[in-house]
């Protein structure tokens, strides 16, 4: 027996839609997709690559093709006019009119965020290196790429994932309204940036929209944060922001086989290996995953990334990887104490919650030393920043930026800010950069015309009204002090570990770095009094059995991203040994 059905308004509308209207609607949807552009002068190759790209990405991207660089540039002109964003260029190197590298030079000058892949039938290593240096090539792919699901799609999946992480389409999301240079505004913007959360900033001193938002919320403190659901937070804390974003801040169980404190490179690597090998794994970070490395604008000497990658990209990849294997990641969550309840260890969080662990890895990293000069405390977050603070990049446009420090992190920051600032000055206490900075960075600094290096120079005073306005610099060679105008200064001097909460629990050196392995054994061969086992501590194991340390927080560690990742992975193998042998 059949049953008649009433037509809903939606179904009636759908039934009445004309083929022409449906086609126009579909075309509008298609035109809004980001673009993948393939360029190859060989018609057969171009057809094949477009076919493969459409099969894998046609539902999310608009795949376009061009048989010459001239035709490709016309497509770019059209995209630019319509405000459309290309996500990826897949370009043949050997074309008769111009080379692939020459085309990419023109393309990336218009669309610098698009990912770049060079395609060739020959193993032209020189062309690849030239492309890496000149256009920051992301990948070099040889023809043929069959089977595409093995040789083409994994490469493009990774690159498109990177592009999507930073893609900012027409925005209708979180809005932050505040003063351009203020500690509160910086803290909120930095929190969103570190957590990969898009937002739009409104300067209350010049944006009418900001004034409208403030007028609707009288008698509130800045900054204001408005969420898409209409909620408005006034001068919010990290915890309040995390709660509104839905970030996990509560553990799902009371006990874990491995708890990792700190989610920088060492902690993230440990999380990946621990979870992938079946251990119940919890990662805790007081701010956001990534640590100091997460704020780096470009890490160029990390193995396997010849074009470099940002600290944000590395953090995002590692966080996704650890989560995929089942690791829980909680942030912002602060650990305030560690106590022994042998064989378990008890971690107490700032909110009073206790978490039990069979093993613990300390990977809390370090932070830069505070500047010892009058005015430093007053202007922190209001012109003076510790670390890269890439959140402030757009505020530095056409400004004079000062970088304090002579190690790699300072060099990376200088190169990054030189893209925005009119002038960047590196202030170095030493007589040169050679002793503390990698050669590739020194060479890049020397090639960058708007970067200058002042050696034997220190900051002795900071002055200003509401924000930093002036610095007093001391020249050790002449003994003279000079006052200069300054609105932005980023410091990278020394490092201090986050270990005060471990005092009296694990052995530390005089600077607070955690002692591990053979460093715990005295010259007389004696173990620490609190050591409760007959065996000696394993490498990376602290004075508390089953508690390990990795990365920058560990005494005598190599302060590099790669070594932190290596120690994090190594710590998991030692955790397995501890669990099986004690």
Q: 344-349 and 335-341: which strand pairing?
A: antiparallel
Tokens of 162: 């990177």
- Top CATH class of 255-367+496-581 equals alpha beta
Q: What is the pLDDT of residue 23?
A: 44
Q: What is the pLDDT of residue 16?
A: 41
Which one, of 381, 334, 336, 379, lies nearest residue 235 by Cα? Answer: 381
Lowest mean pLDDT among 37-46, 218-227, 269-278, 330-339: 218-227
pLDDT category at 136 given cuts 50, 70, 90 is confident
**Cα(219)–Cα(169) distance, rounded to whole angstroms?**
33
**pLDDT tens track for 542-570:** 999 999 999 999 999 998 899 999 999 99
- Cis link prior to 275 (omega < 30° from 0)? no
Q: What is the pLDDT of residue 108?
A: 86
Q: Are 358 and 546 in contact (CB under 8 A)?
A: yes
- Domain(s) of CATH 3.40.50.2300: residues in the chain: 26-166
Statement: residue 181 has pLDDT above 50: yes
Q: What is the pLDDT of residue 14?
A: 37
pLDDT category at 80 given cuts 50, 70, 90 is confident
Topology adopted by domain 175-236:
Glutaredoxin (3.40.30)
Statement: residue 133 has pLDDT above 80: no
Close Cβ partners of 328 (under 8 Å, ≥ 6 residues apart)? 248, 251, 252, 281, 282, 283
Q: Where are the alpha helices (DSSP H) in 32-180?
A: 43-57, 69-82, 100-110, 125-135, 148-151, 153-166
- Interhelix angle 153-166/43-57, rounded to 10 degrees, is 60
Statement: residue 4 has pLDDT above 50: no
pTM for the full model?
Answer: 0.77
Q: What is the pLDDT of residue 144?
A: 83
**pLDDT tens track for 143-156:** 888 889 888 999 99
**pLDDT tens track for 477-512:** 999 999 999 999 999 998 899 899 999 999 999 999
Q: What is the pLDDT of residue 9?
A: 35
Residue, of 455 and 94, whose pLDDT is higher: 455
Q: Are 12 and 38 in contact (CB under 8 A)?
A: no
pLDDT category at 394 given cuts 50, 70, 90 is confident
Statement: residue 113 has pLDDT above 90: no
Residue 470 C-alpha from the chain's centroid: 30
Q: What is the pLDDT of residue 15?
A: 39
- Top CATH class of 376-491 equals alpha beta
pLDDT category at 114 given cuts 50, 70, 90 is very high
Q: What is the pLDDT of residue 170?
A: 60
Instruction: Considering only the C-alpha atoms of the chain, give the largest distance between any 2 of them, rounded to a whole number of Å.
Output: 102
Q: What is the pLDDT of residue 276?
A: 97
**Cα(309)–Cα(229) distance, rounded to whole angstroms?**
34
φ and ψ at residue 392, rounded to 5 degrees: -90, 5
pLDDT category at 171 given cuts 50, 70, 90 is low
Statement: residue 317 has pLDDT above 50: yes
DSSP summary character for residue 520:
G
- Kindly report the CA angle at 75 between 200 and 126, in degrees rounded to 5? 90
Express as a percent the part of the chain with pLDDT over 90: 63
**pLDDT tens track for 182-197:** 899 999 999 998 888 8
Topology adopted by domain 26-166:
Rossmann fold (3.40.50)
Q: What is the pLDDT of residue 22?
A: 40
Average the pLDDT over 84-109 and give the result: 89
Statement: residue 24 has pLDDT above 70: no
Average the pLDDT over 408-435 and give the result: 93
Handedness of CA 155, 157, 158, 164 (dihedral sign): positive
Q: What is the pLDDT of residue 397?
A: 87
Statement: residue 13 has pLDDT above 50: no
**Cα(307)–Cα(280) distance, rounded to whole angstroms?**
35
- Domain(s) of CATH 3.50.50.60: residues in the chain: 255-367+496-581, 376-491
Average the pLDDT over 448-460 and give the result: 96
**Cα(23)–Cα(37) distance, rounded to whole angstroms?**
23
Q: What is the pLDDT of residue 578?
A: 96
- Domain(s) of CATH 3.40.30: residues in the chain: 175-236
Statement: residue 11 has pLDDT above 70: no
429-449 burial, b for 16+ CB within 10 Å, e for fewer? eeeebeeebbeebbebbeeee
Query: Average pLDDT of the chain?
Result: 88
Q: Are 176 and 197 in contact (CB under 8 A)?
A: no
Statement: residue 48 has pLDDT above 50: yes
- Interhelix angle 153-166/311-324, rounded to 10 degrees, is 120
Average the pLDDT over 34-38 and give the result: 95
Q: What is the pLDDT of residue 30?
A: 56
Q: What is the pLDDT of residue 10?
A: 37
Render 148-160 in DSSP notation, one character per residue.
HHHHTHHHHHHHH
pLDDT category at 217 given cuts 50, 70, 90 is confident
Average the pLDDT over 354-377 and give the result: 95
Statement: residue 1 has pLDDT above 50: no
């Amino acid at each position: 027996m059949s049953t008649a059905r009433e037509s809903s308004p939606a179904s009636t509308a759908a039934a009445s839609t004309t083929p022409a209207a449906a086609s126009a609607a579909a075309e509008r949807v298609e035109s809004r997709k980001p673009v993948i552009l393939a360029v190859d002068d060989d018609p057969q190759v171009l057809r094949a690559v477009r076919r493969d790209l459409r099969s894998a990405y046609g539902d999310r991207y608009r795949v376009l093709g061009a048989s010459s660089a001239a035709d490709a540039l016309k497509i770019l002109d059209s995209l630019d006019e319509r405000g459309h964003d290309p996500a990826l260029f897949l370009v043949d190197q050997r074309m008769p009119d111009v080379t692939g590298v020459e085309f990419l030079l023109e393309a990336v000058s218009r669309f610098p965020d698009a990912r770049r892949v060079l395609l060739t039938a020959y193993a032209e290593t020189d062309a690849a290196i030239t492309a890496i240096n000149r256009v920051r090539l992301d990948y070099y792919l040889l023809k043929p790429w069959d089977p595409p699901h093995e040789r083409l799609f994994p490469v493009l999946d990774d690159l498109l994932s990177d592009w999507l992480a930073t893609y900012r389409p027409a925005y209708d999301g979180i809005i932050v309204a505040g003063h351009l240079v203020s500690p509160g505004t910086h803290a909120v913007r930095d929190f969103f940036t570190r957590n990969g959360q898009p937002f739009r900033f409104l300067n209350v001193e010049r944006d009418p929209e900001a004034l409208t938002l403030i007028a609707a919320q009288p008698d509130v403190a800045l900054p204001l944060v408005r969420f898409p659901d209409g909620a408005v937070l006034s001068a919010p804390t990290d915890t309040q922001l995390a709660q509104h974003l839905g970030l996990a801040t509560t553990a799902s169980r009371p006990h874990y086989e491995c708890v990792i404190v700190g989610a920088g490179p060492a902690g993230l690597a440990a999380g990946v290996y621990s979870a992938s090998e079946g251990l119940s794994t919890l990662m805790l970070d007081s701010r956001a995953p990534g640590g100091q490395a997460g704020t780096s604008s470009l890490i160029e000497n990390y193995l396997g990334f010849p074009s470099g990658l940002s600290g944000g990209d590395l953090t995002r990849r590692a966080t996704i990887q650890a989560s995929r294997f089942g690791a829980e990641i909680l942030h912002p969550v602060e650990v305030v104490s560690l106590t022994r309840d042998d064989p378990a260890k008890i971690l107490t969080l700032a909110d009073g919650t206790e978490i039990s662990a069979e093993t613990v890895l300390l990977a809390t990293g370090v932070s830069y030393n505070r500047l010892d000069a009058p005015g430093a405390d007053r202007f922190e977050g209001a012109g003076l920043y510790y670390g890269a603070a890439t959140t402030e990049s757009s505020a530095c446009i056409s400004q004079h930026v000062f970088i304090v420090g002579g190690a790699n992190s300072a060099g990376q920051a200088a190169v990054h800010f030189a893209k925005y600032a009119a002038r960047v000055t590196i202030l170095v206490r030493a007589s040169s950069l050679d002793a503390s900075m990698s050669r590739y960075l020194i060479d890049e600094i020397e090639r960058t015309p708007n970067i200058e290096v002042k050696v034997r120079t220190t900051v002795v005073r900071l002055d200003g009204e509401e924000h930093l306005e002036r610095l007093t610099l001391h020249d050790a060679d002449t003994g003279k002090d000079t006052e200069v105008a300054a609105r932005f200064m980023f410091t990278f001097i020394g490092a201090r570990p986050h270990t005060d909460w471990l005092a009296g629990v694990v052995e530390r050196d005089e600077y607070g770095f955690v002692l591990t392995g053979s460093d715990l054994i005295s010259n007389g061969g004696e173990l620490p009094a609190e050591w409760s086992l007959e065996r000696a501590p394993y490498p990376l194991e602290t004075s508390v059995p089953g508690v390990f340390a990795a990365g920058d927080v560990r005494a005598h560690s190599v302060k590099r991203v790669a070594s932190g990742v290596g120690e994090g992975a190594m710590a998991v193998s030692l955790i397995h040994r501890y669990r099986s042998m004690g």
